[in-house]
């Protein structure tokens, strides 16, 4: 299979189950909502070391938020309910509660409950007030610019982490240009995030390492500088750079959709402009049960 002259390898991206929640952050204006959201989703690229994977899903109009103010939807992914609860408490408490004019709400309507304002309310030192509207409980926590309004609980759902594809290009500039086009298209798909900086990762990893203390290490088969050193390099002589896009999704269908538009957008540059191939990271089925087959998704 080729798209605009770009070879699509007959392989699959191997992904694994995660737990996820959506939070809605609002503020006085979009600038302050984004300040809070960007802080909350910082240092959240990989569960290997960050505790969770998180990112901005999309910007929200005032008509789409619970309080009629500008907002941001963020997604957080972790390996367990326990870890997700910890990350919510720490990140909302340190990054949203602290942000001027902010409020925080649950963004999912179904799933088991996890504490949100239920634990953050204690910052109010006994001055916090509960307010119930319909079936939803909120907490009003006094702060120096007024009140921090936070929903009592959020919801957790089963999710998928680690969807991915790799862009093989002649050099860094071409790989980056294709990646940027892919990310721009993928950010229009609801229910997914690309958690790495700018949505792109250059340090793609493999499972395991020669060092026993490391759970993952550089994916040597896709490192151009190792092509003449290792015996199992996956790169031809004309590949000078590889970049990976990792996708976390609330559903498999969302990852399918993001992969489809992302790969097609990356291929718009074409082979004539240095995009040589698209592949994906898999580990022979040892990493996870979700297999996103590139050619099947793109047909």
The CATH classification of domain 19-157, taken from the options 3.20.20.70, 3.40.50.300, 3.30.70.520, 3.90.580.10: 3.30.70.520
Structural tokens at position 88:
């919510």
Identical fold, 2-14+160-298 and 19-157: yes
Over residues 241-299, the pLDDT tens digits come to 999 999 999 999 999 999 999 999 999 999 999 999 999 998 777 788 999 999 999 99
C-beta contacts of 203-211 below 8 A and 24+ residues apart: 204/166, 204/242, 204/244, 204/281, 205/48, 206/281, 206/283, 207/283, 207/286, 207/287
Could you tell me if 76 and 52 are in contact, meaning their C-beta atoms sit under 8 angstroms apart? yes
Q: What is the pLDDT of residues 46-61, one digit of tens each?
A: 999 999 999 999 999 9
Taking alpha carbons only, the member of 63, 77, 62, 83 closest to residue 22 is 77
Question: Mind listing the pLDDT tens digit for each residue in 93-130?
Answer: 999 999 999 999 999 999 999 999 999 999 999 999 99
Mean pLDDT of the chain: 97
116 Cβ neighbours under 8 A, 6+ residues apart: 23, 88, 92, 104, 106, 150, 151, 152, 153, 154
pLDDT at 179 over 90: yes
pLDDT value, residue 287: 80
Domain boundaries, the chain: 2-14+160-298, 19-157
pLDDT tens for each residue of 208-237 = 899 999 988 999 999 999 999 999 999 999
User: The whole model's pTM is what?
Assistant: 0.95
What kind of fold does domain 2-14+160-298 have according to CATH? Alpha-Beta Plaits (3.30.70)
CB-count burial class (<10 Å; 0-12, 13-18, 19+) for 229: exposed
């Amino acid at each position: 299979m080729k798209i605009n002259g770009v070879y699509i390898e007959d392989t699959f991206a191997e992904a694994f189950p995660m737990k996820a929640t959506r939070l809605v952050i609002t503020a006085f204006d979009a600038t302050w909502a984004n300040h809070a959201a960007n802080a909350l989703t910082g240092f959240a690229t990989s569960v290997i070391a960050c505790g969770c994977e998180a990112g901005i899903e999309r910007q929200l109009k005032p008509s789409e938020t619970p309080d009629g103010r500008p907002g941001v939807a963020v997604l957080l992914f972790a390996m367990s309910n326990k870890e997700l609860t910890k990350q919510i408490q720490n990140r909302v408490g340190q990054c949203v509660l602290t942000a001027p004019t902010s409020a925080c709400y649950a963004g999912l309507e179904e799933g088991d409950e996890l504490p949100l304002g239920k634990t953050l309310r204690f910052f109010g030192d006994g001055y916090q007030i509960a307010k119930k509207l319909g079936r939803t409980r909120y907490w009003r926590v006094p702060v120096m610019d007024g009140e921090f309004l936070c929903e009592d609980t959020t919801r957790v759902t089963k999710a998928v982490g680690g969807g991915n594809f790799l862009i093989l290009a002649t050099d860094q500039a071409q790989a980056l240009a294709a990646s940027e086009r892919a990310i721009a298209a993928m950010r229009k798909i609801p229910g997914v995030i690309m958690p790495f900086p700018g949505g792109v990762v250059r340090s793609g990893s493999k499972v395991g390492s020669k060092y026993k203390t490391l759970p993952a290490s550089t994916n040597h088969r896709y490192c151009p500088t190792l092509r003449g050193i290792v015996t199992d390099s996956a790169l031809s002589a004309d590949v000078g750079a590889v970049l990976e896009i990792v996708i976390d999704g609330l559903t498999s269908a969302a990852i399918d959709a993001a992969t489809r538009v992302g790969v097609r957008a990356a291929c718009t540059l074409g082979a004539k402009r240095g995009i040589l191939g698209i592949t994906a990271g898999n580990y022979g089925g040892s990493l996870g049960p979700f297999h996103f087959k590139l050619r099947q998704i793109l047909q």
